[in-house]
Chain A
Amino acid sequence: MSTAETTPPPKATPPPKATPPEKVEAPAPAFEKSFIDQITNHFSDHVEVEYIKENRTRINVKKEKIVDVAKFIKDNTPFDHAESVTGVDFPEDKEIGVIYHLGSYTDPAYSKQVLALATRVPREENPNPGNDSTKLSSLREIFYSVEFHEREIFEMLGVYFEGHPDNRRLLLPEDWADLPPLRKDFTNKGR
């Protein structure tokens, strides 16, 4: 048994780590950019573009400006109805987000597009729906189709829509006395 020390084979030098390819931001689709630019040019500081993807775009607006921006969209672009209105609770930011998804039936070129118009309103720790600072101007006069969607957000998140003609409960029972149920601090009982 030879005890000759065999020199261990030289360690293979690990291949240099492949540097991850630089993330190249895909250029924004031209068609989508054109109508977003139209809006941002008109409201330079008040509109912030969240993303421009293919067929889906989103702009964020301060709540004071939401009516002006919605009016501009209605008058100057083919978006003519609201498909969906989402309310989202952000307890860490002490804010509630409201996102209007707008679509177009009249212009075939825009039939694929969904423009999300988003805003945020302040959130109260102890909500008193209708009588606290969680208020937003209603878009019902501009996009008629938001009527029931806004009623749903009022009961589900406690956002009062000023100027809405019919701020009543829609889905919840009339005698509901708990927190607005889609707030994050409302938990399902027994869970």
Chain B
Amino acid sequence: MTDKLIPTKQMPPGLQVDQVDDRIMTLNVGPQHPGSGHMRIIVRIDGDYIVDADPDPGYVHRGEEKMAEARNYILNIPHLERPVIHDSCNILYPYVLGVEDLVGIEVTERAKYIRVIAAELNRCIYIQYWLAIYGIFLGHSTMFMWPAGDRELLIDLMEKITGARVTHSYFIPGGVRNDVPANFEDVCLRQVNYFEKRIKEYADVFYDNPILKARTEDTGVLSREDAIRLGTTGSVLRASGVDYDVRIKEPYDVYDELDVHTNVLKAGDSYARSKIPWLDMIESCNIIRQALEKMPKSGSIRTKLKPNPKGKDDEVYRRVESGRGAAGCHIISQGKPEPYRLKLSVGSFRNLIALPYLLKGEKLGNMPAVYWSLNYWPVEADR
């Protein structure tokens, strides 16, 4: 094949024309293409079939981990939720739990329940956003409009609690930033009940739709063994038949007092991977209703924190179940007000490794269906 190479000038890696073949064509999808999010996927295609796919994240890399080393434990809160602003409670959760361990502070009972409610509301908000984009990727514009509209219900609810529509910065070490409004329980229950009724209607228009099934069933099948071997997490893992949810396996805050069920499907194809988050939303509604019932009606929502708290000379690794799978936060502290090193191990980054395996041998037209079914958020993977 070497005689077919076109001699090119020395170019930076990634930009040179490396191989020209009669059959194989290299195609850059992204990083600004609407079908890839903020990420480039370099696909090599033979006619209509993908020979090889190479994900190239990093287009929106912002150095969150480096930034965290220069700011103290409180100042880190607003910028650490930026990787996933529409799931900002869940991305912040492991960090806050880790700081509580390092500083040595207890959380009040009421704050724990408020956190669980906020985290589950945020999970629904994230999944609705993800589902809207999945709909438009597949050319189903009703599925873009419905979740985008119904999502507003919960955004309004979060705005009532936190004061901000998406970037809440609501969790702080020791509890939550402010209390819920007076009539919150009634409003929340009403909204969540209506929301659940609405999302159950998605089955008729989307999940039982024969066109969707034809496009997503048996595409991008990930076997159980591969899902474990590749270390995938969240909906990707559970769609391949592995029953693993951090909320159940390693309960944090009050998840052990609630009756949490997890959804597992065995098929491992794009359809199963797209259905798990939707089932998760219905489960989230159950969790919110239980938490509203069990929540102490009054009490402190925050344990007072000393200004500029110092973490002890230790390291912690805490994890939670975010909308995209397990989100881990590893903090190495050296007795200073700033973390010495902070590492976010997020679901998007861990699931990305499966993309080249799933796309190999698929048709190019199936790429958006497979890619977005990984429950992937490019900004979170880049951090």
Q: Which A residues form the contact surface with B (CB < 8 A)?
A: 55-56, 58, 80-84, 86, 88-89, 99, 101, 105-106, 108, 111-112, 114, 116, 143-148, 168-175, 181-182, 186, 188, 191
Contacts and interface: CB of A to CB of B under 8 A. Distances in A.
A116 B315 CA distance: 11
Contact of A56 (B12, B231, B237, B317): B317
Given A144-B230, A188-B66, A171 B250 contact: no
A112 B330 contact: no
A171 B328 contact: no
Interface residues of B, number: 41
Interface stretch (B124-132, B154-162, B343-351): B343-351
B326 A144 contact: no
B382 interface: yes
Given A81-B228, A99-B330, A144-B230, A116 B349 contact: no
B65 interface: yes
19 contacts: A80-B229, A81-B229, A82-B231, A83-B231, A83-B328, A83-B350, A84-B345, A88-B341, A105-B228, A112-B249, A145-B353, A148-B353, A170-B58, A171-B58, A171-B382, A174-B12, A181-B63, A188-B70, A191-B70
B57 interface: yes
Contact of B229 (A88, A111, A144): A144
Interface string B226-246: 001111010001000010100
Which of A58, A144, A145, A172 has the most chain B CB atoms inside 10 A of its CB?
Answer: A145
A118 to B, nearest CB: 10
A171 B382 CA distance: 7
Contacts of A56: 316-317
A156 to B, nearest CB: 8
B326 A88 contact: no
Nearest to A113: B250
Interface in B58-84: 58, 61, 63, 65-67, 70
Contacts of B230: 81, 144-145
Contacts of B229: 80-81, 144-145
Contacts of A181: 63, 66
Contacts of A147: 353
B112 interface: no
Contacts of A143: 231
Given A83-B319, A114-B317, A186-B66, 10 more contacts: A81-B228, A83-B350, A84-B328, A84-B343, A144-B230, A145-B229, A171-B61, A171-B383, A174-B14, A188-B63
Contacts of A170: 56-58
Residue with the highest number of chain B CB atoms closer than 10 Å, among A82, A105, A106, A148:
A105
Interface of B: 12-15, 56-58, 61, 63, 65-67, 70, 228-231, 233, 237, 242, 244, 249-250, 315-317, 319, 326, 328, 330, 332, 340-341, 343, 345, 349-350, 352-353, 382-383
Nearest to A183: B66
Given A145-B229, A145-B231, A116 B12 contact: no
A49 to B, nearest CB: 14
Contacts of B231: 81-83, 143-146
| 7 closest Cβ pairs, A-B complex | A145-B231, A84-B345, A81-B231, A171-B58, A111-B249, A86-B343, A174-B14
Contacts of B13: 168-169, 174
Contacts of A58: 315
B244 A116 contact: no
Contacts of B328: 83-84, 101
Nearest to B228: A105
A5 B316 CA distance: 64
B340 A88 contact: yes
B242 A105 contact: yes
Contacts of B341: 86, 88-89
B380 to A, nearest CB: 12
B237 A105 contact: yes
Contact of A145 (B67, B332, B350): B350
Contacts of A105: 228, 237, 242, 244
Query: Which of B61, B328, B341, B382 neighbours the largest number of chain A CB atoms within 10 Å of its CB?
Result: B341
A3 B242 CA distance: 91
A150 B267 CA distance: 30
A174 B14 CA distance: 7
Nearest to A174: B14
B330 A148 contact: no
Contact of A83 (B56, B61, B340, B345): B345
